[in-house]
Structure 1
């Protein structure tokens, strides 16, 4: 029989894009009031994998990943709602100027949060769904059939593999009482 136990804390991140890097940084700073300080920011890359956001945001779009400290996995619902509130606060004339997509990394997977339901997503509560988008197999994160193309890109996989290594080392430094109860 299995028994309930506390899972390890997750490494939270936010994928952030928009047209104005300074505006994105301001939005991340606002979100950091809840999430804590940014521990790592990826390089800025063009976000041109889809035309889905073109009407709302225009072009060109720039994107970076921002990583934060460890948090309980169950915080994902609240983190998604906080990101949504920051997006609304940074909107102009009813249109977002920044897109903030939170998720978290664990040793075996990368999980995204969304307000959109789909067959492969699990409902968490308060309108938030979770999606496993990358699995760690054979020494690397691997995309799944539904993984967004930007998350399946080699540079994104490399970024998450590097962050996984740092996360693994961080877990080893925690006291046993901090990783399970």
Structure 2
């Protein structure tokens, strides 16, 4: 019989994509401040990532002739993975605040990095997602094996892309440094 023990703290991250200029939404429209009010200080913002080439699914909602820009954002404080369902409800509320005529202009995929995995929250059930409470599901999007991120059969195309994987590697390395300080 195993003895239950508390889980490792994780590094919360957000994959944000926006209708048009992500700097406009993050800095001028106040998204960064709202995220920090809810999740603590941001310690890393990736360069702009190409999201548009992976899907046109969001163009109807965000704007047909608008370039959709993405960023990976990391939060400074480590937290419990049990917070994920609450985190998704918070980001859904933030998305609603930035909506225009019930159409999102900001999409926030919240999740976390653990040294062994990258996990994302979802409101949608699927065979590869586990219910975690409050009508929210969790999906292991990537696993970290033998020194690199490994996509799974169902991993979205953008999270298979070398540029995304590079940014997640940076965030993971920062997380490992934070864990060393936290564990000391």
Same fold flag (TM > 0.5): yes
Deviation string 1:89-112 (CA, Å, 9 cap, x unpaired) is: 111111111001100000110000
Is residue 17–residue 71 contact of structure 2 (8 Å, CA) maintained in 1? Answer: yes
Runs of 4+ in 1 over 4 A off after TM superposition: none
Q: Structure 2: which 5+ runs fail to align? A: none
Structure-1 separation of matches of 2:149 and 2:178 = 18
Alignment RMSD (CA, Å): 1.2
State the TM-score, normalized to the length of structure 1: 0.93
State the TM-score, normalized to the length of structure 2: 0.91
The equivalent residue for 1:179 is: none
Shift of 1:28: 3.2
After superposition, residues 1-181 of structure 1 pair within 5 angstroms as 1-18=1-18, 19-21=20-22, 22-25=24-27, 26-48=30-52, 49-58=54-63, 59-68=66-75, 69-175=77-183
Q: Structure 1: which 5+ runs fail to align? A: 177-181
Shift of 1:162: 2.1
Q: Quick check: 137-146 or 27-36, which moved more?
A: 27-36
Shift of 1:56: 0.2
Shift of 1:173: 1.7
Is residue 16–residue 24 contact of structure 1 (8 Å, CA) maintained in 2? Answer: no
Shift of 1:20: 3.3
Q: Quick check: 43-52 or 160-169, which moved more?
A: 160-169
